[in-house]
Amino acid sequence: MATSSAPSTRWVKPVPNKSIRIGGASGYWGESAMATPQLLDAGVDYLVYDYLAEITMSIMARAHAKDPAAGYAGDFISAVLKPHARTIAAQGVKVIANAGGVNPASCGEAARALIKDLDLDLKVAVITGDNLLAELDAIAASAPTEMFTGAAFPDKEKIASVNAYLGAFPIARALAEGADIVITGRCVDSAVTLGACIHEFGWSDNDHDLLASGSLAGHLLECGPQATGGNYTDWEDAGDIANIGYPIGTVSSDGSFTVTKPEGTGGCATVGTVSEQMLYEIGDPQAYMLPDVICDFSEVEITQLGPDKVHVSPARGYPAPDQYKTCLTYGEGFRGGTYVSFYGFDAARKAQKFCDNVFARAGKILRGHNLGDYSETSVELIGAESQFGEFSEVSEPREVVAKIAAKHSEAAAIGILLRELTGLGLATPPGLSGFSGARAKPSPVVRLFSYLTPKNAIAIRIDVDGKQLEFSDSAGQALDPASIIRPADPELPAISTEMVTVPLIRLAWARSGDKGNKANIGVIARDPDYLPYIWTALTPDSVAKRFGHFIEGGADAAKIDQFYLPGSNAINFLIDAVLGGGGVASIRNDAQGKGYGQILLAHPVAIPAALAKKLD
């Protein structure tokens, strides 16, 4: 169970200067619609919405291929603007959303039609240029390689979407043209916040520290309530998550900001919640690359000002890169699977026996149809601590859920597996059960391919209610990794007392997520005094052993980067090739590494007995 800690005693006095209040109202396509009225009632200057992930782009691309008017987040129109546009107009709130997906123009048309029906005076700006699918032939001819793995360019016939990640300056320009609602296609998640800051404070493309700070504010807001108690290590402190408060960032013109939530809501805003979100999926914290700036979060300090009020100091920034990260999604066969449960004595062995025989029976049928074997199979026994590998502490569970899945180039082969999963039901060991419903169906495997596109190759356009503008980003410059000055490693103090061993969760918070096929795990010391001992215990080798059963090639083949953030007393780990392909390319139970932080929190850490008294 998570252990709560006392609020931080690092208090700061805020500097009075111009500030704006920005509400983080959406973290993904399909999230609850509760945030908009909550934040409007609390009073904000801006509402920002992030809807897009790589898999979301592929889903929208398929929808657009079937219907030229589709391909955007329709709930932005139906659940945000339709019920709340009158209040948004009355309060003078600006709205920024990447709801356009692969079809920002249609999203803009739908917004304008609704505004006209409501007889409101709101200007809508639509930003395009990120969607490069029309240029696929030229891109394929240039044959860029995958920027992380070096893989060759995929078959262009299988590509569903191609989008460059645009930045915040086009958003700021749209606001300067008087836009009340700004709709973009694919931009980096934090740009919807940074664009408001650039517009309000007049930041230029040379204000690197300010741009990095505004990007950090956007990063903290982009996942909605993950900054205010969602997915929090000390989950019980979040209280009433049914009424969780969405985050409000009060950003100052000097780059500092506070994170709060609406009064009377559940959740919590603490050093822990904000620190966890800062480390969420950032990779190298000293080279967090965005279109507008390269961010260094290593010296950022996070401080509790009072109940549900957290101060975040400015970040450091470096010149923007000269290329846009560009992501395409493409199909690579099919996958399928399901969950069944077993209970009673020997539940785990019964489940494993069932799964082994499902594959044996399906494999025999595949050979009879000359379909070839499954390219990948997966069995995970949830309840038998299959996620913990050799560190499992459960020997004889009496209840497990078996997740069984496979990949194949042919949908028919997946159909055979799913049929035999059902067909073996009367020949199974005892204790089989499950929630009944329609049989699962084969689904496409969608893989992600990332590469870089020169900024001067992208034509950005802004349409403000029919006024057409062309926009060019600053050229930027390539980052020299050798120029990054790394902080010295934490050093253990002289130890003169006996040592005791405690699980990491007693000493730290943790948050994990994915970066393609990499897992990102941030670990934040609850007290600065704990950090040297955590650093000493959590070596790349020890972390590799914890995740060796997930890593391609096992622990000995692990590639793990470890980064130190002295400002927040934190460590960030980036583990390569650990998610089975990641996203919907994976057939893992946790394809995005969301629970990996929970696995790491079981890691033992030796600390002095005298220091352990702080835990009492």
Phi-psi region of 519 (alpha: psi -120 to 50; beta: other; left: phi over 0): beta
Q: What is the pLDDT of residues 426-447, one digit of tens each?
A: 999 999 998 877 789 999 999 9
Q: 249 pairs with which residues across the strands?
A: 22, 259
Same domain (yes/no): 500, 600: yes
Given a cut of 70, whether residue 10 has pLDDT beyond it is: no
Q: Residue 583, SS3?
A: helix
Q: What pLDDT, on the 0 to 100 scale, is given for residue 55?
A: 80
Tell me if 379 is assigned to some domain.
Answer: yes
Q: What is the pLDDT of residues 518-527, one digit of tens each?
A: 999 999 999 9
Tell me if 155 is assigned to some domain.
Answer: no
Q: What pLDDT, on the 0 to 100 scale, is given for residue 157?
A: 95
Given 430, 462, 478, the domain boundary residue is 430
Q: Residue 75, SS3?
A: helix
Q: What pLDDT, on the 0 to 100 scale, is given for residue 352?
A: 97
Mean pLDDT of 277-284: 97
Same domain (yes/no): 182, 269: no
Looking at 189-323, list the stretches that DSSP marks H as alpha helix, in order from N- to C-terminal side: 191-201, 208-221, 271-279
Same domain (yes/no): 537, 594: yes
Domain range for residue 69? 23-130+165-202
Q: What pLDDT, on the 0 to 100 scale, is given for residue 527?
A: 97
Q: What is the pLDDT of residues 292-311, one digit of tens each?
A: 999 999 999 999 999 999 99
Tell me if 144 is assigned to some domain.
Answer: no
Question: Starting at the edge strand that comes first in sequence, how are the strands of the sheet with 294-296 ordered?
Answer: 288-289, 294-296, 316-318
pLDDT band at 2 (very low <50, low <70, confident <90, very high): very low
Same domain (yes/no): 316, 343: no
Given a cut of 70, whether residue 14 has pLDDT beyond it is: no
Mean pLDDT of 250-263: 97
Same domain (yes/no): 192, 251: no
Tell me if 299 is assigned to some domain.
Answer: yes
Structure tokens at 416: 């055979």
Given a cut of 70, whether residue 7 has pLDDT beyond it is: no
Tell me if 278 is assigned to some domain.
Answer: yes
Q: What pLDDT, on the 0 to 100 scale, is given for residue 4?
A: 36
For 93, what's the count of Cα atoms within 13 Å in the CB-facing half-sphere? 27
End-to-end Cα distance, the chain = 15
Same domain (yes/no): 180, 283: no
Given 430, 449, 466, the domain boundary residue is 430
Tell me if 157 is assigned to some domain.
Answer: no
Q: What percentage of the chain exceeds 90 in pLDDT?
A: 88
Structure tokens at 493: 């103090």
Given a cut of 80, whether residue 3 has pLDDT beyond it is: no
Q: Output the average pLDDT for the chain.
A: 94
Structure tokens at 274: 């904000």
pLDDT band at 533 (very low <50, low <70, confident <90, very high): very high
Given 387, 404, 430, the domain boundary residue is 430
pTM of the prediction?
0.94
Same domain (yes/no): 305, 356: no
Same domain (yes/no): 251, 184: no
DSSP secondary structure letters along 84-121:
HHHHHHHHT-EEEE-TTTT-HHHHHHHHHHHHHHTT--
Same domain (yes/no): 303, 387: no
Tell me if 441 is assigned to some domain.
Answer: no
58: which DSSP letter? H
71: which DSSP letter? -
Looking at 292-451, list the stretches that DSSP marks H as alpha helix, in order from N- to C-terminal side: 347-368, 411-423
Same domain (yes/no): 518, 601: yes
What is the count of structural domains for the chain? 4
Given a cut of 70, whether residue 255 has pLDDT beyond it is: yes
Same domain (yes/no): 513, 582: yes
Mean pLDDT of 165-176: 98
Same domain (yes/no): 603, 499: yes
Tell me if 468 is assigned to some domain.
Answer: no
Between 493 and 186, where is the model more confident? 186
Q: What pLDDT, on the 0 to 100 scale, is given for residue 495?
A: 78
